[in-house]
Chains A and B, each alone.
Chain A
Amino acid sequence: MDNDKWSPYTDKGLNAIQFLNVILAIFFLIGALAEVPLEKYGIKWCFGKNTSADLKQLQCLQSLQETRILKVSFAEIIKRRRTCRHCKEVVIGESQYFKYFKFPFMVIDIGFVSRGTGTKVHFIFKQGPPIEFEGLLMVNDVDTNELAVIQPKSSTESTANFIIALRSKKFDSIWNSLQ
C-alpha cells in the first residue's frame, strides 16, 4: 500500500522537473493575482497589460483616450509642419519623426510610468521601418493629457517580426487612420 502513496519524487507522482513546474506555475498564478485590477477604478481592462497580438486587447487599446490624444496630436503636428516646417518643436521629437504621422498607426500597449508622472504609449506605424515608438503623455496646466515626447524604442529582431506580423491583413481593421 505504501508504494501507492503519492509522492512528488516517485515515478508514480511527479518527477522533480514536473514538481518544479508546478511550483513555478503557482508563483505565476500568485503574480497574476497580485496584478492590480485597474477596472475597479474605471480604467479599461487593456490598460497596463503586456504587449500581445491578441485581437481583443488591441481593439480595446485603440478605444482608449490616450489613442485619441495621439491621433489628434499627429493631425495637429502635420497641419503645423505644413505651414511652418522649421518651427520650434511643441512635441519633443516631432521634427524627426513627423514624416511617419500620415501613416495609419496602432497602439500596442499603454501604461503608467514607474517613476514620476506620465503615461507611456507604445505604438507602431503601418508603413516605414518596423520600429516601435514610445510616446510620453503628461497632464498639462489645464488638467488634460497631452503628448509631450516621441522617441523610438531600441529595436530587436523579435520586435521587428512582431510589427511585421501586425501589418498583416488579419489586423487591417485595427489600424487608426487620420482620415
Chain B
Amino acid sequence: MPTKKQKGKSNVSQWINRESPHIRRALEAASRHFDRNDSINVHTLEAVYGEESSFGQARRSLGINGAAGDFQMDAATARRMGLSTTKRNDERFDIDASSAAAGKYLKTLDNHFRRPATLTENLRTVPIVDRNERKSFVIAAYNAGDARIAIAQQEAIMAGRDPTKWDDVNQYLEKAGASKAKAIEIRNYVDRVKRYEREFSIKSPANSRSKYEGPSYPRGAHWITISGRHILIKG
C-alpha cells in the first residue's frame, strides 16, 4: 500500500513520531529473525511497515487478494507465518504478531535469494552474494512475488546481463509478465523502501540488538473484527 509522499518532506520523520515504544519493541523483537549475513535488518522492517501501511495508519485498507493489516499480508501467507486470521482474532492487525510474521517472511525471501531456491519445476532463483544487491531483490519479491523476480533474472541471463544486479534485472520485469505500470510500481517500491531504510538507519532509535520485553498489553488479549473494524479485546 504505497503512501502519499508530502512535497519536500520525508514520511520517515512523521512515522518516527508515530513510533510508540510498543511499536518499536515489536519491530525490534521481529528483527531477531535476522542475522548479520542477511540483507535485511530492523530498519528494513520499519521501511516496509511505513511503505505498506504508513506505520499502521492504512492497515485497514484491503490490498490485492485480501491482503490486510500492518504489513498487508494475505490470509494464507499470514497463517503460514503463524498468525491467526479468523474474524474473531485477526492477528494481521496486531503489531507484535504481524511484525514477527513479516520478519519471518522477509527472512524467507532473503534465503530464497541467498542460495538457489526451486520455486517450481525448472524455475530457480539466482543466488546473490552482495547483501546490498540482495536487499533490492528481497524488497521487490515482497511486492511482486519471488517467481516474477526469478523470471526477470532468467530474462537478464538470456540477454547477457548480470542476474545478480538489480539495475540489470529490473529492466526485464515487463518480460517477466509485469504490466508496464506494475513494473514501474516495483522499481519505485524498491527505491522508496531503500530510501526510507537509509533514513530510518540515521533517525530511528530502533536497535535490532535490544532486548525484547514482550507486548505491553495483557496476556490473552486478542483482536476481533466487527463490521470491518478491528478491536483489541483485553483479557
Q: Which residues of A are in contact with B by a Cβ distance under 8 Å?
A: 34-36, 38, 41-44, 47, 64-66, 92-93, 112-120, 134, 136, 138-139, 143-145, 148-149, 151
Contacts and interface: CB of A to CB of B under 8 A. Distances in A.
B122 to A, nearest CB: 3
Contacts of B115: 143
Range for the number of chain B residues in contact with chain A: 35 or more
Contacts of A92: 79-80
B231 interface: no
Contacts of B122: 41-43
A116 B79 contact: no
A114 B65 contact: yes
Given A36-B175, A139-B112, A149 B80 contact: yes
Interface string B110-125: 0010011111111100
Given A36-B177, A117-B145, A41 B76 contact: no
B77 interface: yes
A116 B123 contact: no
Interface string B74-107: 1111011000000000000000000000000100
A156 to B, nearest CB: 15
Contact of A136 (B80, B116, B119, B145): B80
Nearest to B148: A112
5 contacts: A44-B121, A115-B143, A118-B77, A139-B119, A144-B118
B64 A139 contact: no
A78 B6 CA distance: 55
B67 interface: yes
Contacts of A93: 79
A119 B176 contact: no
A34 B148 CA distance: 14
Nearest to B154: A41
Contacts of B72: 115
B40 to A, nearest CB: 14
A144 to B, nearest CB: 7
A122 B117 CA distance: 23
Q: Which among A42, A113, A115, A143 has the highest number of chain B CB atoms within 10 Å?
A: A115
A163 to B, nearest CB: 20
A66 B72 CA distance: 26
A134 B143 CA distance: 21
